[in-house]
Amino acid sequence: MSRILIVEDEQSIAELERDYLELSSFTVEIENDGLVGLDRAINEDFDMYILDLMLPNVDGFEILRQIREKKNTPILMVSAKKDDIDKIRGLGLGADDYITKPFSPSELVARVKAHIARYERLVNSNIIENDVIEIRGIRIDKTARRVYVNGEEKVLTTKEFDLLTFLASNPNHVYTKEELFREIWDMESIGDIATVTVHIKKIREKIELDTSKPQYIETIWGVGYRFKV
């Protein structure tokens, strides 16, 4: 549930805003004093701030400025004077939206919903999970390009990583050295299929407990290699 802080010294306006927002299932806190509002805005987590401009002790400009130094949370500025709104825009303090009194409460709710939804999408888009392959103690993080065997990180070269990841992404599929060379090295590369053999050996030294009895990359004699599942 989204939590909103309203800093507004006119109690009747604050309550009107709160009542409408609560009808839309938001949790709303009200502060009437600028200094207390600023303190809570900075030290507590909210999903949105609605700030009046003219407030006792600390005004809305200053609260806006200080929140923006620390947080990207959406901020809606409220003022009785259109000139003041123009002033905040002009100062470029980073408010997301502006509304002049008197306003329609449903317009306020619509704007709050839109800003919270936009901000949630933004936050969620930054926490996409890494693309990971996990097979019997080996963990290949394709996004971070890191390999772990039983929790211990193994450092692979770029080509070693690409080769291992390709085989592990297609488990139980037997590839010839020619196919692997074409897949991992581009046609212009200097080298030949012996390069594949050399890289498989290096990978095994890094990921296998006993290279004479490979658990992960299996040699299919006369054909090529496959990643065993």
Question: Which of the ranges 45-53, 104-112, 119-127, 195-203 carries the binding residues for Ca ion, by CB under 5 A?
Answer: 45-53
Using CB under 5 A, which of 17, 47, 52, 84 touches Ca ion? 52
CB of 79 to Ca ion, least distance (A): 8
CB of 14 to Ca ion, least distance (A): 10
* 138, 147 Cβ separation under 8 angstroms: yes
The amino acid occupying position 181 is F
CA 22 – CA 175 distance, rounded (Å):
61
The amino acid occupying position 49 is Y
- Based on CB atoms, which residue is closest to Ca ion, 31 or 52? 52
- Which residue has its beta carbon closest to Ca ion? 54
Question: Which of the ranges 3-11, 16-24, 132-140, 169-177 carries the binding residues for Ca ion, by CB under 5 A?
Answer: 3-11
Classify residue 228 as exposed, middle or buried by CB count within 10 Å of its CB (0-12, 13-18, 19+). Answer: middle
CB of 109 to Ca ion, least distance (A): 20
CA 192 – CA 200 distance, rounded (Å):
14
Question: Which of the ranges 32-40, 50-58, 96-104, 129-137 carries the binding residues for Ca ion, by CB under 5 A?
Answer: 50-58
Put the strands of the sheet holding 132-135 in their side by side order: 132-135, 138-141, 146-149, 152-154
Using CB under 5 A, which of 3, 9, 137, 139 touches Ca ion? 9
Question: Which of the ranges 8-16, 101-109, 153-161, 218-226 carries the binding residues for Ca ion, by CB under 5 A?
Answer: 8-16
Using CB under 5 A, which of 16, 30, 36, 54 touches Ca ion? 54
The three-point CA angle 211-217-219 to 5° equals 85
CA 67 – CA 93 distance, rounded (Å):
10
The residues binding Ca ion (CB under 5 A) are 9, 52, 54
